[in-house]
A and B are shown apart, each in its own frame.
Chain A
Amino acid sequence: MADAVLSTHGITKRFGAVTASEDVSLELRPGEIHAVIGPNGAGKSTLIAQICGGLRPDAGRVELLGRDVTGLATPERARLGLGRTFQVSALAMEDTVLQNALLGALGASGRVWRFLGAALGDRALRAQAEEALGRVGLAEHAAMRVSELGHGQRRLLEVAIALTLQPKAFVMDEPMAGLGADGSKRMTAFLDGLRAEAPILLVEHDMDAVFALADRISVLVYGRVIATGTVAEIRASAAVREAYLGEEA
């Protein structure tokens, strides 16, 4: 469909005998949360890596805003408007929370080749970073080192950094992982509002969150999309129950 913000077309990726992605075609439309679910090892993170640029698909292509980005490196895709969060937090652990958020604003601004002025003294970047921290509720931890943050706060910082990029599409790998019931609930409410800013491709194991948030769900099993549909359709699908939900629910 022409108006998809982000789409994959027949993506295939093999690691030796393991097929991590097989002919995966997905699209992320404006304003939606598109959840990708599937059992451990189904290929969700591998799919994200191919969308965001860490891995090159063996076949197929990725389009962002109608542009083929399959050949572009991760930083280029980020600058075109992909805001990604990692399943395992990837943060500058020795730096402060504010410095991490500032890094996002700096990357997005592209004004990194400055060698003398203080990064924290750049008012515009700092305002952007502080706003993002405020939105996820990390404002009062701005001066803390990331290594001193709790696990849940690190997840929030991941999201805050993505916010500073003001992306055209969010790609989130298990943002709820390890948040606990309360944290999950708050993150769910936050993502619910976020979709109006940019659509979210959401990989998530937390089924309550997925059913509460998703406009559409794709089910990935052994690297293949076995079904895509609304929450009701996925819940009703016999194939999905058998392949996946049946094991859990």
Chain B
Amino acid sequence: MRREAALNAAILVALIAVPAWAHLSDEPFTITLATRAVILALAAVGLNIALGIGGMVSFGHAVYFGIGGYAMGILASHAQSYTPMELFGLSIEGTKSMLVIWLVAVVLSALAALVIGLLSLRTSGVYFIMITLAFGQMFFFFSISWAAYGGEDGLSIYVRNGFPGLNTLVPIQYFGLCLAILLVVLWFNARLARSPFGLALNAARQSPARAETVGLNPMRLRLVAFVISGAITGLAGALFADLNRFVSPTMFSWQLSGEITVLIIIGGVGRLMGPVAGAVVFVALEHLLGGLTEFWHIYLGAALLLVVLFARGGLVGLIAGRPGGGGGGHG
């Protein structure tokens, strides 16, 4: 428990120190990499609630990431072209306000998670993986054929969206904003894991029969967790699109679902900081190895294999040992 707290603090300090150093020595690209890591971590924190606490191996979380991305792309593109969006006879204005975009991203991805959860949570194991993957592919191919919003080419946004009091185009400011969101969500995640809901969800994963026998409905618990999970990953999608000022069908791709899953496994499934540790390592590998060889995915695969074979709790588990018990829930 102690060691995990120390490790968590160390990860956070590194996450702040590296971009701060980069800012001072005028290395904006490093800040962009750190921002990318923070956003991928946020997406993975979302998935980790479903996967780590709830035990739902969703292989389609790109759906929510993509919905968040397209929420940003569509709203901002209407705003930059000064043409309202026509929807069911309604005329909706676009917006360049991040707050509005985030709200739309969260609501839409939560709704999608609700529908997909209702349809797929009746299954488990491999079937659940396949169904969530199938939903991901559905959204992927839909976005490819959605010519109004760029189809295969995606959508570019000229200027990053705005946040009150910040100049989001300054890399360190946008990084700070994303980091703040990640910290708030991590705080929520830590509380959730210890909450009555977290206790019940955690028990429903370990022994559904036990949960039912004390009057809890595992399906309902999982569905709520799935919706929360999708909403968080959706928010990350909106931030990711804003980072790149670009959104394309790749945000819906199964590779992206896979990457979010992989970085959780590298960091530690069900551990509070697992997704963060995983994302930092993932982005670092992607950048360092990606510069050396175009086959960097092979090395990533090898790293993953080592983690699965020798460090079942991921990097966090390797360094901090098993999750603490007495203090209450996992995080």
Chain A positions within 8 Å of B, measured between CB atoms, are: 52-54, 73-76, 78-79, 84, 86, 90-96, 99-100, 102-104, 106-108, 110-120, 122, 125, 143-145, 161, 164-165
Question: Interface stretch among B117-125, B164-172, B188-196, B229-237?
Answer: B188-196
Q: Find B214's partner among A96, A99, A106, A117 (CB 8 Å cutoff).
A: A106
Residues of B within 8 A of A113 (CB): 196-197, 224
Known: A110-B215, A119-B195. A91 touches B207 (CB 8 A): yes
> Is A120 within 8 A of B194, CB to CB?
yes
Q: For the complex, give the distance between the alpha carbons of A109 and B106 in Å.
A: 31
> Is A86 within 8 A of B326, CB to CB?
no
Known: A92-B207, A94-B206, A143-B325. A112 touches B197 (CB 8 A): yes
**Taking the complex as formed, is B92 at the interface, i.e. its CB lies under 8 A from any CB of chain A?**
no
Residues of B within 8 A of A78 (CB): 212-215
Q: For the complex, give the distance between the alpha carbons of A117 and B210 in Å.
A: 23
Q: For the complex, give the distance between the alpha carbons of A185 and B215 in Å.
A: 30
**Taking the complex as formed, is B300 at the interface, i.e. its CB lies under 8 A from any CB of chain A?**
no
Would you give the 0/1 interface string for B218-231, flagging 1 where the beta carbon is closer than 8 Å to chain A? 00010010000000
**Taking the complex as formed, is B198 at the interface, i.e. its CB lies under 8 A from any CB of chain A?**
yes
> Is A103 within 8 A of B214, CB to CB?
yes
Q: Find A95's partner among B192, B206, B209, B224 (CB 8 Å cutoff).
A: B206
Known: A115-B192, A120-B194. A96 touches B217 (CB 8 A): no
**Taking the complex as formed, is B329 at the interface, i.e. its CB lies under 8 A from any CB of chain A?**
yes
Known: A107-B200, A116-B191, A117-B195. A75 touches B329 (CB 8 A): no
Residues of A within 8 A of B224 (CB): 113
> Is A75 within 8 A of B215, CB to CB?
yes
Residues of B within 8 A of A161 (CB): 210, 213-214
Number of interface residues, chain B, beta carbon within 8 A: 31
> Is A103 within 8 A of B206, CB to CB?
no
Residues of A within 8 A of B213 (CB): 52, 74, 78, 84, 86, 90, 161
**Taking the complex as formed, is B75 at the interface, i.e. its CB lies under 8 A from any CB of chain A?**
no
Q: Given contacts A54-B209, A75-B211, list 5 more A-B pairs with CB under 8 A.
A: A74-B213, A95-B325, A103-B200, A120-B194, A165-B215
Q: For the complex, give the distance between the alpha carbons of A132 and B214 in Å.
A: 14
Q: For the complex, give the distance between the alpha carbons of A120 and B195 in Å.
A: 8
Residues of A within 8 A of B191 (CB): 115-118
Q: For the complex, give the distance between the alpha carbons of A165 and B211 in Å.
A: 12
**Taking the complex as formed, is B7 at the interface, i.e. its CB lies under 8 A from any CB of chain A?**
no
Of A74, A107, A112, A144, chain B has the most CB atoms within 10 Å of the CB of: A112
Q: How far is the CB of B72 from chain A (nearest CB, A)?
A: 26
> Is A112 within 8 A of B325, CB to CB?
no
Q: Which residue of A lies closest to B187 (CB)?
A: A116
Residues of A within 8 A of B210 (CB): 90-92, 100, 103, 161
Residues of B within 8 A of A119 (CB): 194-196, 198-199, 328-329
> Is A75 within 8 A of B325, CB to CB?
no
Q: How far is the CB of A174 from chain B (nearest CB, A)?
A: 15
> Is B207 within 8 A of A107, CB to CB?
no
Residues of A within 8 A of B329 (CB): 99, 119
**Taking the complex as formed, is B34 at the interface, i.e. its CB lies under 8 A from any CB of chain A?**
no
Residues of A within 8 A of B211 (CB): 75, 103, 107
> Is B326 within 8 A of A115, CB to CB?
no
> Is B203 within 8 A of A103, CB to CB?
yes
> Is B328 within 8 A of A118, CB to CB?
yes
> Is A86 within 8 A of B209, CB to CB?
yes
**Taking the complex as formed, is B202 at the interface, i.e. its CB lies under 8 A from any CB of chain A?**
yes
> Is A107 within 8 A of B216, CB to CB?
yes
Q: For the complex, give the distance between the alpha carbons of A73 and B208 in Å.
A: 13
Q: For the complex, give the distance between the alpha carbons of A92 and B192 in Å.
A: 18
Residues of A within 8 A of B197 (CB): 112-115
Would you give the 0/1 interface string for B299-331, flagging 1 where the beta carbon is closer than 8 Å to chain A? 000000000000000000000000101101110
Residues of B within 8 A of A79 (CB): 215
Q: Which residue of A lies closest to B207 (CB)?
A: A90
Residues of B within 8 A of A103 (CB): 199-200, 203, 210-211, 214, 216
